[in-house]
Structure 1
Amino acid sequence: MEYLTVKESAKKWGLSIRAVQQLCEQGRIPGIQKFGKSWAIPAEAEKPEGVRSRNGENTGSQASSSQESLLIDTENLMPLMNSPFQPGHCLEAIAAMPTGLKRDIAMAEYYYFSGQAEKAVQQAKLFLDHEDQGAQLSACLIYAYANLSLGEIPRARLALRELDAAISSAVEKKPQFRTAAAFVASAAAVLLHLPLPDKMPEAKSFLGLLPLGTRAFAIYVQAHYLYLKEEYAVSVGMVEAALAMGMEKYPISAIYLHLIAVMDYMSLKQMERAKKHVLEAWRLARPDDLIEGLGEHHGLLGGMLEAVIKPEWPEDFKRIISITYRFSAGWRKVHNPITGHDVADDLTTTEFAIAMLAARGWTNQEIANHLKISPNTVKRYLATAREKLHVSRRQDLKKYMLQ
């Protein structure tokens, strides 16, 4: 079932936001659900009988007076991402935060980045409508992506719309946030591999608004965009520069930067450099179990997890792959219908990795050397993949692969 936010329903029915909130509190709208302080209203719900529209009120863009008075405060904006901590001391960094909102949001981040989607959802939903805008933005982002892993696509979409509404309210009050808002919208398209914007906002126009940890993550998004545009050398140059300038001290963002470098170097067939970066990502992630990013990016890493992580850390590899299956299933439910692409959903992760390399022009021998298996084994995997996808030619695999 699809849901609307209170703001969207208010616009649809010609009511004030306050009036719709009151209808929700009174239980007069069938099928509504409450997540934290926010209401989710079924998209097909009709305006309750006896409720009169308020003519001339611009409910579609009006926020509550308390929200309008707020500006984005970065104190509680992804505080864990913005914490420089030594690998192995993530929970200590959270414990050192003052008891209250900042620590609570940081725990939601930890649950998400350590692959604990259920706990991330439960923690984040408490703050979806919080008066602190930094906390609200963080909660919406965590709640949306954690629900992708749980297959709760309507909830994920609702949270992304709540995120957009929260940023829009800030833009109304502070026009200088407009570029940051455009970046967030673009970032959603990039990270979900949806149709790309023609141009991303220039980094210099919004990076100064962000704390250093989220600034590093914004660079990751920019580099990911360039990767999708097949500008691999430019993308990896941006990543290498960011890491050289000290972004490594923010482990969560640095993990994602290293993963983009792996993707770029694999696309350039520079396997040794790709291996170096996947090991760096693992060095940062493993001590605190921050494995979500590796699971999310598995299909884009060109079999590097199979080649490097699986032989040395087989049990950790299994847990990463379980994240891959969960996240990719939810991701495809958003990506495939919007793009019209048919990214494969019935291949094992090894079959997918080998098929993706083959679709990119790698020979069986190159794939075999990379994964340390025989060319005949590669051939068997590809035959199974083609059979599952009902294609007969190697080049036809590309239709079902990630970019």
Structure 2
Amino acid sequence: MEYLTVRETAEKWNISIRMVQQFCTAGRIPGAQKFGKSWAIPADTEKPTDPRRTQRQRNFPPAQTAPAGPLDRASLMPLMNTAFAPGRCREAVEAMAEGTQREIAKAEYYYFTGQPEMAAAAAEPYLTSPDMGARLSACLIYAYANLSVGEIARAKFALGELNAFLAGAGKQVPQFRAAAAFVASAGAVLLHLPLPEELPESESFMPLLPTGLRAFAVYIQAHYLYLKGEYGASAGIVEGALAMGGSAYPIPAIYLRLVAVMDYMSLKQTERAQSHLLSAWEMARPDDLIEGFGEHHGLLGAMLEAAIKPKWPEEFRRIIDITYRFSAGWRRVHNPLTGHDVADDLTTTEFAIAMLAARDWTTREIAEHLHISVNTAKKHISEAMRKLDVDNRKDLKQYMLR
């Protein structure tokens, strides 16, 4: 019988070496044999069942019908849907009518200012609200807040609820289907998970969303295009959304500009990337809306290290704290469901530089971008490769974000 090494099998199945090793250890590869510290894998063995479907069905069971209840669009992510001047975010929340809308907006405020424990606590009472706008919002906030506090079971529960709402939305009014599609797509794309099978085409639900949420839905669409490697198309719809009024809504505008940074760094257009990052920072800093910067750190091509760290070191430190907390929870959901073993043992600097190296940036380009020496850049790349036990940049790619 012909056997393959773990590395050869990983290349054949298009997954990471560590994921193949985990399959072997778990006994999921029939006929695999261990010799010392290495595994020999029968060449004709099929890749184990894709966990994106089996695990997703087990962890996020779909509902047959969406829970009944009216949809109040005023309570569907109201802060995200509010236009306010930088520095007036808290005022915008307090100006809302007392009740559900204001309480959901408070949960949003806590989340986007990097206070996940308070966000989860504020959202939790509305997880069973009869107001479906509040309920959808609460589930989305609760899911992401619990990633950052390490409550993965709670995060998975809320993500499952989002998919259940979408699965049961077929018999609901169009506005409910649009709202369910919006939150379910946000839950999937931001975690780099496959889109739900029930998700309608964006053109069918985006026009039914209020303006601010429509702008955030464009961010979700742009992020999805980025994940497909369509950087130019992604940047194009971001630029269009900002030009057509998206900039008036600070939270969607921040996220739109962050995905533009991701696109332009992938296209090696660093000046455009930096312009968008600083515009996002100028909008976010007066209200401390820093959560998005921490969430996207690994995708921003070390732009935070280049443009934010030198001038705002304390804020940069807080962003990195958010990055470590969020990414730890993110990986615990993303990696098992996708089979993509995103690295979890690199520092944020090593990860950012490794992302650039994996995107075919030369060592000199990385050094110039970060204003460090070529030798320092080399040391970071070498340390990242040592920790991941890879020998070249091609193998480095399998542990990076996609």
For the residues of structure 2 that align with 1:277 and 1:158, how far apart are their CA atoms?
A: 35
Alpha carbon RMSD of aligned pairs, Å?
Answer: 2.1
Q: Match of 2:401?
A: 402
Code of the residue aligned with 1:257 in structure 2: it is L
Q: Does residue 74 of the first structure (1) align with residue 73 of the second (2)?
A: yes
Q: Match of 2:342?
A: 343
Q: Does residue 102 of the first structure (1) align with residue 106 of the second (2)?
A: no
Q: Match of 2:388?
A: 389
Q: Which moved more, 1:381-390 or 1:299-308?
A: 381-390
Q: Does the aligned pair in 2 maintain the 1:133–1:166 contact within 8 Å?
A: no
Q: Match of 2:229?
A: 230
For the residues of structure 2 that align with 1:373 and 1:211, how far apart are their CA atoms?
A: 45
* Deviation at residue 197 of structure 1 after TM alignment: 6.8
Q: Does the aligned pair in 2 maintain the 1:71–1:174 contact within 8 Å?
A: no
* Deviation at residue 186 of structure 1 after TM alignment: 3.9
Q: 1:228 to 1:107 in 2, by over 3 A?
A: same
1:124-171, Cα deviation, whole Å (9 max, x unpaired)? 001110111101111010000000111111100111222333445554
Code of the residue aligned with 2:64 in structure 1: it is S
Q: Match of 1:370?
A: 369
Q: Which moved more, 1:181-190 or 1:391-400?
A: 181-190
Gaps of 5+ in 1: 1-42, 45-59
Structure 1 residue matching 2:97: 3-state secondary structure: coil
Q: Does the aligned pair in 2 maintain the 1:171–1:177 contact within 8 Å?
A: no
Q: Match of 1:206?
A: 205
TM-score by length of 1: 0.81
Q: 1:395 to 1:326 in 2, by over 3 A?
A: same
For the residues of structure 1 that align with 2:205 and 2:150, how far apart are their CA atoms?
A: 32
Q: Does the aligned pair in 2 maintain the 1:183–1:201 contact within 8 Å?
A: no
Q: Match of 2:137?
A: 138
For the residues of structure 2 that align with 1:299 and 1:152, how far apart are their CA atoms?
A: 22
TM-score by length of 2: 0.81
Q: 1:198 to 1:123 in 2, by over 3 A?
A: closer
Q: 1:190-339 alignment to 2 at 5 Å?
A: 190-195=189-194, 201-339=200-338
Q: Match of 1:53?
A: none
Q: Does residue 61 of the first structure (1) align with residue 60 of the second (2)?
A: no
Identity of aligned residues (%): 66
Q: Which has the higher contact order (CA 8 A, sep 6+)?
A: 2
1:68-104, Cα deviation, whole Å (9 max, x unpaired)? 3x34221100110011000001001111111111111
* Deviation at residue 184 of structure 1 after TM alignment: 4.2
Q: Which moved more, 1:372-381 or 1:393-402?
A: 393-402
Q: 1:131-210 alignment to 2 at 5 Å?
A: 131-174=130-173, 177-178=176-177, 181-182=180-181, 184-195=183-194, 201-210=200-209
Q: 1:259 to 1:83 in 2, by over 3 A?
A: same
